[in-house]
């Protein structure tokens, strides 16, 4: 699944996403301030999304990328905050600062994002409407859920962790 050949075959996905970003900057942002970090993050996220989820979220890529960036940014802030529960473990059950609750909310948001992508791919694959002959990582993983062998089969939770 992640062999050198498959990674090399995904070059076209990466190239398309980089070209989209360059085109976006050229057409819409010349003369404006650009957050290079945000542009790089969205380009990388979209390239990875394209390699893993393929055409599943076609047309929704920017919205999904922005939402995913929002989740990741919030998660990084929460993980970097000093937590009183780390100093005094007896207070952990109280969650005085609300860090655990907010982290759980972010985690559930990411989970819903992945559930949505997996469900859309299952619907497309079930109807046989896949536009591309190339398989993406998600399609390989979904095929493993239908495997007869116990050692090679996967659950949906395992697929979400990998994707």
Question: pLDDT tens-digit profile of 83-116?
Answer: 999 899 999 999 999 999 999 999 999 889 888 8
Confidence of residue 152 (pLDDT cuts 50, 70, 90): low
Q: Which long-range contacts (CB under 8 A, 24 or more apart) does 133-137 make?
A: 134/9, 134/54, 135/54, 136/51, 136/52, 136/53, 136/54, 136/55, 136/56, 137/1, 137/2, 137/51, 137/52, 137/53, 137/162, 137/163
Instruction: Spell 68-83 as b/e; 16+ CB within 10 A means b.
Output: beebeeebeebeeeeb
The pLDDT value recorded for residue 100 is: 94
Residue-wise pLDDT tens digits, 112-143 = 988 887 887 777 766 665 555 566 777 777 77
Predicted pLDDT of residue 124? 72
């Amino acid at each position: 699944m992640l062999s050198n050949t498959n990674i090399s075959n995904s070059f076209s996905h990466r190239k398309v996403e980089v070209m989209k970003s360059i085109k976006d900057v050229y057409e819409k942002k010349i003369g404006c301030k650009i957050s290079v970090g945000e542009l790089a993050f969205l380009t990388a996220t979209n390239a990875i999304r394209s390699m893993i989820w393929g055409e599943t979220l076609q047309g929704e890529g920017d919205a999904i990328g922005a939402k995913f960036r929002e989740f990741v940014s919030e998660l990084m802030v929460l993980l970097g905050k000093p937590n009183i529960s780390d100093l005094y473990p007896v207070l952990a059950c109280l969650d005085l600062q609300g860090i655990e609750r907010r982290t759980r909310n972010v985690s559930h948001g990411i989970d819903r994002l992945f559930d949505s992508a997996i469900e859309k791919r299952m619907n497309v694959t079930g109807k046989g409407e896949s536009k591309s002959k190339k398989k993406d990582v998600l399609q390989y993983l979904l095929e493993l859920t239908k495997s007869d062998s116990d050692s090679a089969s996967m659950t949906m939770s395992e697929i979400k962790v990998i994707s």
